[in-house]
Structure 1
Amino acid sequence: MAEQDSFMQQLQSLFWKYMGRSIGQAEHPHDILYHYTNLDSFMGMIDNRSIWMSKGNFLNDSGELVYIHHIARHVLELFEQHINQKYGNDVELLKCRNRFVGKMRWALSKFLHEIHLDHLEVYVLSLTPNQDSLTLWYNYSGGDGYNIGFSYDKLLAKINRLSENMGQEFSVVYGNVLYEKEKQEQTLLHSLIRSFEFLLQHRGQFDDDEMVAKLPAYFTEIITSCSIFFKHEAFKNEEEYRIAFTRRRKANTGDGKVLFRLANGIIIPYISIELKEKLPVRHVTIGPKNNIDIAKNGVEYYLRSRGYPLEHITVSKSVVSLRY
């Protein structure tokens, strides 16, 4: 059993080594990343020293998380073609390929089922290097909200420390969203090819029924991760960077960790990740429809009252000027 667990850990490490490069997981070229939100959410996070993460399938993209279904189906066809071309008519290798693809298809179907039933939950903090995007103002704050500019390094360090203390309940992933369909397909395809070739190098374990039974859990991790970071190219102007928490739980049970807020006339589930210290705020931008002359003074006075030193934080008005 220990050998099998180690084997699966090697597979996971192999996947994240490649996936991490694809989404730029370990680094970001911008010192500050911005989160667009409304005034209530902005004040709620500052007052409670917490990060609010919205439930993934309640975000503005109606294809959120399930978009991976279309990508994965095509990639599996490409994968089968690749294996056929590389290994020809080797009967034993084709059997391995069929077992591999079968488990991947099963995991994809199970993933969609779990998302639908809320057995698998994803909570997302959406960030962007774009400080003043008219599209983002309207999509996420109605044009009159605020965006919070976080120190990227400090925020990620705090999130990583918290995730280490959460045990097995939540897992954290982060990185840039990929919008190019070709890059999405190549990322998933190369991950599957590398995984399959790794399995072939350990044929003795791969042929073991108990080991094969563990593959769906590995494939589910791949599918879940790709579902978080793959979005339709129509959203590419958002330039989104995501921090996401995932977990599994039984549906239809009470859960005090899930909170609810009102947005655009609907109820949005979210979780509040408490940092227990001041948020690493570097900048606050006031939305383009907020033309009240005391808005900037109000933000500065509010931040000072909550213990945020303004010598390290700047507050500015959006350079876009709108009447309505």
Structure 2
Amino acid sequence: MPSSHGWWVPEPLPHGTRVWHYTSPASLVGMLTNLEIWATECTGLNDLSEVVGGFEYMSQWFGQRPGSAAASLHTLCAPTGGTVARAQEVFIVCASLNGDDAGQWRLYGGVRAGYSVELDPGVSLGVISRSADPASYPASARRPRSGGTLWKAWGQQASVAPWYPVAYSDAARERMLSDLLTWANEVDADYERAASDPTLDPEERDQMGQDLGERFEDALCTAAALIKAPGFSGEREARAVVNAQLRTNHEEFRATGHGVVRYVRLATGDGRGLVQPEHHPGQTLPVRSITVGPTPYFEAQKSTLEALILRAGFKPSAVPVVESKVALRR
């Protein structure tokens, strides 16, 4: 579809913002050994109501707005539209703007030890996959699509969005959804103008309609992943959102306390959203520091982590190990 408006991109974190990903000892070792971080499907979150609640909130919000774009978005948000199925196409990495927070240590730090890994939100992430070669996909899955600041190609797309702040308040949600609706109205107008061309082939018109629906669904899934109840606002969460179509080419599976969930693996990307081959040359993560959670054994942990950091290919001086200032009872 000819359009200069691309794919919807929410307002990212302000420049210079710092984010920390809280994790357990096992996950930290995996991150630094494999130089990858995992984005979990939204339905694998601790609280599934986060995503479902996001769609329900947007359904009500768009249902109160006029226009064909708002009506389309409202329909796509409806529970009968397959909310859970669409949520399975969205994968997220969670982080916090708080690098040393008692609540986060209790929830995500593990039983006796935990870490918060500072990641540079200014560095793009990309999906890594065993099936990264576009030649491995059928011809129909290799049609390039471009627009805005994201790039997608069927079968090889991995649109890892920048880090976005979670919208807890009505005011934050209003800003985000108003921006989404403005974009949707522009894209919808482009579609109407193009589709009204009497010389347009019916197959091309159908394809344009499918593209429009895909853009809308992509935007809604991203927004749903960024809506969370006000009671969690103390977490000051930020999320990197992955919309992975044809996800079966890239997804992995792991066992959790909630059952089997999907995830995709991320590493530092190329800025274009291309899927990257597994263990490609130069694979790394934008790690800036590691904070050790409350423990009486910080010095022992520090020396061990510095050895792990060195093994991962980082200079220990470039990734300092920091001691938590929180006095949790252990």
User: 1:204 & 1:265 partners in 2: Cα distance?
Assistant: 47
- The number of residues matched between the two structures is 286
- Give the CA deviation at 1:184: 0.8
User: 1:103 & 1:161 partners in 2: Cα distance?
Assistant: 33
2:161 to 173, 188, 195: 173
User: 2:249 & 2:193 partners in 1: Cα distance?
Assistant: 43
* Letter of the 2:110 counterpart: G
Q: Which structure has greater helix proportion?
A: 1
User: 1:119 & 1:150 partners in 2: Cα distance?
Assistant: 25
5+ residue gaps, structure 1: 81-96
Secondary structure of the residue aligned to 2:72 is: helix
1:286 to 282, 292, 306: 292
Aligned to 1:72: 58
C-alpha RMSD over aligned residues: 3.5
Greater CA drift, 278-287 or 268-277: 268-277
Say yes or no: does 1:271 pair with 2:260. no
Note closer, same or farther for the CA distance 1:197–1:135 as it changes in structure 2 (3 Å cut).
Answer: same
2:15 to 9, 23, 28: 28
User: 2:323 & 2:295 partners in 1: Cα distance?
Assistant: 10
Query: TM-score scaled to structure 2, two decimals?
Result: 0.72
User: 1:35 & 1:116 partners in 2: Cα distance?
Assistant: 25
Is residue 282–residue 314 contact of structure 1 (8 Å, CA) maintained in 2? yes
- Give the CA deviation at 1:119: 8.1
Query: TM-score scaled to structure 1, two decimals?
Result: 0.73
User: 1:203 & 1:246 partners in 2: Cα distance?
Assistant: 26
- Give the CA deviation at 1:297: 2.0
Secondary structure of the residue aligned to 1:229 is: coil
Is residue 68–residue 223 contact of structure 1 (8 Å, CA) maintained in 2? no
User: 2:127 & 2:258 partners in 1: Cα distance?
Assistant: 34
The percent of aligned pairs where both chains have the same amino acid is: 21
Aligned to 1:141: 109
The 5 A counterparts of 1:47-58 are: 47-58=33-44
User: 1:140 & 1:196 partners in 2: Cα distance?
Assistant: 40
2:321 to 298, 312, 315: 315
The 5 A counterparts of 1:148-167 are: 148-153=117-122, 156-157=123-124, 159=126
Aligned to 1:126: 94
- Give the CA deviation at 1:132: 0.1
Secondary structure of the residue aligned to 1:282 is: strand
* Letter of the 2:42 counterpart: G
Note closer, same or farther for the CA distance 1:197–1:116 as it changes in structure 2 (3 Å cut).
Answer: closer
Note closer, same or farther for the CA distance 1:112–1:307 as it changes in structure 2 (3 Å cut).
Answer: same
Is residue 107–residue 217 contact of structure 1 (8 Å, CA) maintained in 2? no
User: 1:53 & 1:65 partners in 2: Cα distance?
Assistant: 15
- Give the CA deviation at 1:186: 4.0
Secondary structure of the residue aligned to 2:220 is: helix
- Give the CA deviation at 1:193: 4.7
- Give the CA deviation at 1:41: 0.7
5+ residue gaps, structure 2: 130-149, 198-204, 269-281
Secondary structure of the residue aligned to 1:152 is: coil
Aligned to 2:29: 43
- Give the CA deviation at 1:101: 4.4
Secondary structure of the residue aligned to 2:318 is: coil
Aligned to 1:240: 237
User: 1:277 & 1:201 partners in 2: Cα distance?
Assistant: 39
Say yes or no: does 1:196 pair with 2:185. yes
**Highest Rg: 1 or 2?**
1
Note closer, same or farther for the CA distance 1:40–1:243 as it changes in structure 2 (3 Å cut).
Answer: same
Note closer, same or farther for the CA distance 1:218–1:319 as it changes in structure 2 (3 Å cut).
Answer: same
Cα deviation, 1:181-207, whole Å, max 9, x if unaligned, reads 233134313532564367568864466
User: 1:147 & 1:266 partners in 2: Cα distance?
Assistant: 25
* Letter of the 1:270 counterpart: Y
User: 1:312 & 1:165 partners in 2: Cα distance?
Assistant: 33
Secondary structure of the residue aligned to 1:294 is: helix
